């Protein structure tokens, strides 16, 4: 075992485990701590199974369920998570009296986590645990889903329970991650309360803008408020295409100060907007293009514009959220959309998705991308 991890674990957790004598009782007796209070443990009742041991078709049905499971596993390996969910559901719906149902539910939980159906993943894990309380993978799935929902206490209980049963270095990483995230969340809340400094009652962006200096050897674009042009946006796109040729910070396509200036202009536009719910009227014989889930795929965005045309007054777009995370060009996607918003305020509409969220940005990579590309050394609140 990694000595550093072991020492960290001992320092932070061994005492709490010893002091909390209920930690090993949490998941016993029909899983009394079930997070989903509406969960109905029907799977303890023999009457729900259509196919029971001893039935003539029992072995053939069990083989079919295992076949569905293997197909689901194959789809997971191919990252076809919705198809995997369908296969595990087919196995479950056979209603066979077997502990293998715990595996089917747990595997479906894994697929649900991959497509961010965290609530469904927790429900599936709860079913799996109710069927077979010794199946540790189900606890791991539930802990992972709770971690991604920032339910650090619930996640920590699952990971500690597994660790007590089967110590492993990878679990130490999860346990330490839960503790760190919980501590950071507490610290950040304290900072906000003490400083009374947030984007709504104090202008963080303006403060940031005033305290950024532009180096004399900066070679990127210059942004001037309210003077953005289509030529400027095209030049921005051309510089973004050349990302692999940028060797120094001063050769980047736009300086942090100008980027913050753009954010200020976009913020002012939305703050001055009368209605939060915008109604769009599409003229007769016209159309509007709807795009969703870019997830940092900058070159896919450029390909959409190549096929369908750039946003304009005669070619409006609605972008339905999830511009960032996962992909490595999330920042470029967002900057380009904001540039077009500043250029054609009433012809491009940018909705918020679930990934436009501080917590998901921390988990799925956008925060790290900003820090790396913008040279930020401190934590982003």
pTM over cut 0.85: no
* DSSP class of 312: B
**Cβ neighbours for 176, distance < 8 A, ≥ 6 positions apart:** 5, 8, 9, 12
Give the pLDDT of residue 337: 93
Burial class (CB in 10 A: 0-12, 13-18, 19+), 342: buried
Do residues 294 and 265 touch, judged by C-beta distance below 8 A?
Answer: no
Nearest in space to 154 (alpha carbons), one of 120, 131, 182: 182
Give the pLDDT of residue 378: 56
CA–CA gap between residue 56 and residue 65 (Å, rounded): 16
Average pLDDT along the chain, 381 residues, taken 10 residues at a time: 50 45 37 36 54 90 95 93 94 93 96 87 93 94 88 89 85 81 60 44 66 83 86 90 58 82 87 78 85 89 93 91 85 92 91 82 82 70 47
255 is catalytic: no
Burial class (CB in 10 A: 0-12, 13-18, 19+), 339: buried
Secondary structure (3-state) at 34 = coil
* Structure token pair of residue 230: 């289509």
Catalytic residue, chosen from 127, 255, 295, 355, is: 355
* Residue 79 backbone class (left: φ over 0; alpha: ψ -120 to 50; beta: rest): left
Secondary structure (3-state) at 289 = strand
User: In the Cβ-directed half-sphere of 326, how many Cα atoms lie within 13 Å?
Assistant: 13
Burial class (CB in 10 A: 0-12, 13-18, 19+), 185: middle
Give the pLDDT of residue 83: 94
Superfamily of domain 3-191: Tetratricopeptide repeat domain (1.25.40.10)
**CATH number listed for the domain at residues 204-374:** 3.60.21.10
Delimit the domains of the chain by residue range: 3-191, 204-374
């Amino acid at each position: 075992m990694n000595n550093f991890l072991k020492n960290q674990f001992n320092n932070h957790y061994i005492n709490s485990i010893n002091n909390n004598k209920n930690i090993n009782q949490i998941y016993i007796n029909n899983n009394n701590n079930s997070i989903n209070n509406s969960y109905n443990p029907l799977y303890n009742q023999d009457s729900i199974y259509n196919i029971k041991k001893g039935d003539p078709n029992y072995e053939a049905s069990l083989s079919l369920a295992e076949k569905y499971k293997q197909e689901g596993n194959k789809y997971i390996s191919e990252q076809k998570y919705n198809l995997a969910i369908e296969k595990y559901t087919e196995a479950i719906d056979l209603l066979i009296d077997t502990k293998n149902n715990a595996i089917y539910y747990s595997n479906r939980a894994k697929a649900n986590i991959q497509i961010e159906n965290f609530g469904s993943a927790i429900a599936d894990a709860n079913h799996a645990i109710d069927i077979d309380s010794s199946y540790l993978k189900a606890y791991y799935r539930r802990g992972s889903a709770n971690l991604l929902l920032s339910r650090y206490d619930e996640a920590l209980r699952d990971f500690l329970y597994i660790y007590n049963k089967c110590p492993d270095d990878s679990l130490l990483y999860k346990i330490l991650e839960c503790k760190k995230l919980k501590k950071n969340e507490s610290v950040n809340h304290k900072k906000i309360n003490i400083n009374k400094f947030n984007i709504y009652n104090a202008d963080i962006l303006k403060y940031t803008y005033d305290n950024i200096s532009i180096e004399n050897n900066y070679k990127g674009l210059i942004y001037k408020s309210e003077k953005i042009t289509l030529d400027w946006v095209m030049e921005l796109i051309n510089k973004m295409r050349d990302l692999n040729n940028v060797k120094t910070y001063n050769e980047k396509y736009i300086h942090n100060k100008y980027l913050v200036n753009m954010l200020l202009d976009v913020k002012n536009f939305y703050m001055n907007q009368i209605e939060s719910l915008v109604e769009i009227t599409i003229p007769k014989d016209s159309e509007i293009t709807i795009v969703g889930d870019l997830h940092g795929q900058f070159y896919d965005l450029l390909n959409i514009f190549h096929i369908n045309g750039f946003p304009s007054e005669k070619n409006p777009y609605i972008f339905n959220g999830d511009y960032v995370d996962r992909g490595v060009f999330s920042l470029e996607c967002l900057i380009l959309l904001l540039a077009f918003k500043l250029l054609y305020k009433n012809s491009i509409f940018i909705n918020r998705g679930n990934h436009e969220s501080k917590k998901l940005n921390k988990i799925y990579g956008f925060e790290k991308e900003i820090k790396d590309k913008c040279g930020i050394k401190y934590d982003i609140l």
